[in-house]
Structure 1
Amino acid sequence: MEIEGVTEQFEEFKDNAVQDILKESVDVEISQSSESSESIQSRLLSPFLNNLSELTDDLILTSAASVNPHILETFNISCIVSCAPELPYTPLQDDVIYHRINIIDSGNSRILPFFDETADLIHEVCSAGKKTLVYCVAGVSRSATICIAYLMKHHQLPLLEAYNFVKLRRPRIKPNCGFFKQLIEYEKQLFGSNTVHMVFNECVQMEIPDVYDNEYRIITNCSKKRCSSGRH
């Protein structure tokens, strides 16, 4: 038993020693750097900043990887909308409103029932001169869908304009086809007509929003060309 205790103490000593060395090396690097503390902080935050998409002065769309206390403080975030129930619920600041949407990224999930409540919350925060950050795992499907719904309801943008508005600022967005179908349904509720329609795409043998149609055709044609060239 004594030997085991000594071994555990030695392992703990090694861990602490390694941490001390790492801390010293970081301190030396910072002390030798001519950068200001603000510049160092900006450099450390740059990977997170590059993943943030500011849709409006009051609304930011991102992925879970960029949600941390430094980002909340830097952008003065007052409200967080999480669309990723598979991630742990870990509020980062007590004075921030947290709104969770329990929805998985599946074409069979019903996201439409969350549109009004979440859009109204974002609008309420915006009206108070504060900012909201919306995220899911990748910032591509669920969170993008919620932001589009908000722009439709409170900025009176038709679906096509709202989608293009968000895509211009975050080109990687791609709400799944089931979510897009519900956005089309929501647009009909709000405006009585539709600017986006579901169409059958032979390339993927399923219904997709017409804004995806050309993209799927291009991808499929490129795949066919690669297959043809490979057979020669």
Structure 2
Amino acid sequence: MLLSQVTPTLFLSGADAPFNAALMSQKGITLIVNATLSHAFPAYPGVECLRVPVCDLPCERLDAHFDRVADRIHGNHTGGTLVHCAAGMSRSPALVMAYLMRYRGVTLGQAHRWVQESRPFIRLNVGFWEQLLQYERRLYGRNTVRVELERAGLKRVEPGMVVPLRAEPARAAGPPLSTRVTSVPRSPAVSRTPLMSRSQ
């Protein structure tokens, strides 16, 4: 079991951590966001549970939940928040990155580094990366990273495939400076060509 601390009151994990009552009490967890279809919720007094019923598949619309989850994390003033999925590698990190962009004023590149520092083995699927890129454009009107996909049929994005479009500080206090979008990813389901990004 591995519980990763992203901020003093925000944590990431797989599906086993929520059932460790001592750990949940120690971290002061009062909100559990369960980003799975069927993993059970623990029953703790004073702990709210929120379900995000999404599979870890590139075609799933996790972005439909970005604002709702970010708002609940931001609005949880009674204690800590744990966001988890089955392994804590794709769905839950994507939700946390969306929260960091919306309420901590960081870019997608900064949010990715922030989460990766606390949980180095995150591996978002390609579809969730596309949705996060769209979310960053919606929030800031531009993208700060691109995802380089080199093989047809690739399902996961390795950390080295996330390429900054320009150098940026580790964490910004406010919205990022203007950056020109040079490319965005294309889903493997859409194209079978070896080069999976397109210029804009």
| TM-score category, normalised to shorter length | 0.7 to 0.9
Q: Is the alpha carbon distance of 1:211 and 1:188 closer, same or farther for their aligned partners in structure 2, counting shifts above 3 Å?
A: farther
Matching of residue 142 in structure 1 with residue 91 in structure 2: yes
Greater relative contact order, per chain length (Cα 8 Å cut-off, separation 6+): 2
Which amino acid letter does the alignment assign opposite residue 213 of structure 1? M
Distance in 1, Cα, partners of 2:58 & 2:18: 25
Q: Which position in structure 1 is the counterpart of 2:16? A: 65
- 5+ residue gaps in structure 1? 1-47, 216-232
Q: CA deviation at 1:130?
A: 1.7
Q: 1:120 aligns with which of 44, 61, 71?
A: 71
Distance in 2, Cα, partners of 1:83 & 1:76: 20
Q: CA deviation at 1:76?
A: 1.2
Matching of residue 78 in structure 1 with residue 30 in structure 2: yes
Q: Give the structure with higher Rg (CA).
A: 1
Q: Is the 8 A contact 1:196 1:211 kept in 2?
A: no
**SS of 2:6 mapped into structure 1:** strand
Off by >3 Å, runs of 4+ in structure 1: 203-212
Q: Which position in structure 2 is the counterpart of 1:213? A: 161
Matching of residue 197 in structure 1 with residue 146 in structure 2: yes
Q: Is the 8 A contact 1:181 1:209 kept in 2?
A: no
Q: Is the 8 A contact 1:198 1:208 kept in 2?
A: no
Q: Is the 8 A contact 1:81 1:101 kept in 2?
A: yes
Which amino acid letter does the alignment assign opposite residue 99 of structure 1? L
Q: CA deviation at 1:74?
A: 1.4
What is the TM-score of this pair, normalised by structure 1?
Answer: 0.65
Distance in 2, Cα, partners of 1:174 & 1:162: 14
The Cα offsets for residues 159-196 of structure 1, whole Å up to 9 and x where unpaired, read as: 00000110011001111010000000000000000012
Q: Is the 8 A contact 1:140 1:173 kept in 2?
A: yes
What is the TM-score of this pair, normalised by structure 2?
Answer: 0.75
- 5+ residue gaps in structure 2? 164-200
**1:17-32 residue pairs with structure 2 within 5 A?**
none
Q: Is the 8 A contact 1:83 1:142 kept in 2?
A: yes
Which amino acid letter does the alignment assign opposite residue 72 of structure 1? M
**SS of 2:16 mapped into structure 1:** helix
Q: Is the 8 A contact 2:97 2:108 kept in 1?
A: yes
Distance in 1, Cα, partners of 2:122 & 2:155: 19
Distance in 2, Cα, partners of 1:190 & 1:208: 24
Distance in 1, Cα, partners of 2:154 & 2:53: 26
Q: Which position in structure 1 is the counterpart of 2:177? A: none
**SS of 1:197 mapped into structure 2:** strand
Distance in 2, Cα, partners of 1:76 & 1:58: 8
Q: CA deviation at 1:87?
A: 1.4
Q: Is the 8 A contact 2:123 2:158 kept in 1?
A: no
More helix by share: 1
RMSD after superposition? 2.2
**SS of 1:190 mapped into structure 2:** helix
Q: How many residues align?
A: 162
Percent identity, please.
31
The Cα offsets for residues 8-28 of structure 1, whole Å up to 9 and x where unpaired, read as: xxxxxxxxxxxxxxxxxxxxx
